[in-house]
Amino acid sequence: MAPLIQFENVDVFQRETLVLKNVSLSVSNGEFVYLIGKTGSGKSSLMKTMYAELPVNEGLAFVAGYSLVELKKREVPLLRRKLGIVFQDFQLLTDRNVNENLLFVMKSTGWDNKEKMQSRCDEVLQSVGLSTKGHKMPHQLSGGEQQRVAIARALVNNPEIILADEPTGNLDPETSAGIMYLLRDISLTGRSVLMATHNYNLIKRFPSRVFRIEEGVVYDDPIESYEGHTDEPESSEPVNEM
């Protein structure tokens, strides 16, 4: 079975600026993978290429069966329906309750059966532990609960891939652990989860495969490098070259 995410020799640009050079990586079904690096290292830019916010002009780049190099504008919504995206700042609609936040996404992605929409809404809220919070407004929820709503929103279309960009960045350690357990459980359902973070303590507590970005290069790090360390490890195997 082909990887759900596969990059070979891909350069990542922000406008005219080269951010990452010659990226090669792959993520398989059901795999949980960290993407780590300092703020501004290119983590978000790499994720933006995956959901076609930034273009890929050369190399080989496949996400959920779509070639990003050959992707046409009309195909972008189709690609994004196979992805669930979770942001650090939640990005919930503050003038709508939890149910309405989820229903808004469903309507915008082609759902039209109200009964099925509400059933799916109830299902994903239960899966993230918020089955009684559908009537709540975002400001009535804790930060951890808001992030769980954001994860529920990412799950509504039953995506193949979850892209989580610093999902614990605004949360305390205990709440962050709850989000990590949830994301790990999601990967056990067969979805790929790629999580950007700069929190090395999370990696030690919840060890898994790690891609590290440093000075425009992506490295495939051995997880053993993170045991007992809070700083970046010295040993790594590059999966791309400058």
Q: Which pLDDT belongs to residue 165? A: 92
What is the predicted pLDDT for the residue at 90? 85
Q: What is the pTM of this model?
A: 0.88
**Quick one: pLDDT at residue 148?**
94
Tell me how far apart the alpha carbons of residues 116 and 157 are, in angstroms, rounded to a whole number.
Answer: 12
Q: Is residue 128 part of a domain?
A: no
Name the band, by pLDDT with cuts 50, 70 and 90, for residue 239: very low
In a domain, 121, yes or no: no
Number of domains present in the structure of the chain: 1
Residue 197 lies in a domain: yes
- Signed CA dihedral, 53, 59, 65, 66: sign only: positive
Q: Is residue 66 part of a domain?
A: yes
Q: Let me know if residue 224 belongs to a domain.
A: yes
Q: Which domain, by its residues, includes 25?
A: 1-82+160-168+188-242
pLDDT of 170 reads 86
Scan for tokens 């791309």, then name that residue: 240
As a whole-number percent, the residues of the chain with pLDDT over 70 amount to: 92
State the average pLDDT over residues 200-217: 92
Instruction: Give the rounded distance of the alpha carbon of 140 from its chain centre.
Output: 25
Q: Is residue 111 part of a domain?
A: no
Report how far residue 48's alpha carbon sits from residue 111's, in angstroms, rounded to the nearest whole number: 25
pLDDT tens-place string over residues 107-165: 988 898 999 999 999 999 999 999 999 999 999 999 999 999 999 999 999 999 999 99
Q: What is the pLDDT of residue 216?
A: 93
Q: CB–CB of 6/225 below 8 Å?
A: no
Q: What is the pLDDT of residue 229?
A: 53
Q: Identify the pLDDT of residue 227.
A: 66
Residues 180-197 have a mean pLDDT of 94
Q: Which residue has the higher pLDDT, 172 or 234?
A: 172
Is residue 91, in this structure, part of any structural domain at all?
no
How far is 93 from 232, CA to CA, in rounded Å?
36
Residue 11: name the closest of 53, 60, 79, 76 by CA.
60
Residues 74-105 have pLDDT tens digits of 999 899 999 999 988 888 999 999 999 999 99
Average predicted confidence (pLDDT) for the chain? 89
Give the torsion through C-alpha atoms of 212, 213, 217, 218, to 10 deg.
40
Question: Does some domain include residue 1?
Answer: yes
Question: According to the model, what pLDDT value does residue 232 have?
Answer: 46
Give the confidence band of 235 by pLDDT, cuts at 50, 70, 90.
very low
CATH number reported for the structural domain that contains residue 73 in this entry: 3.40.50.300
pLDDT at 214 over 90: yes
Is residue 231 over pLDDT 60? Answer: no
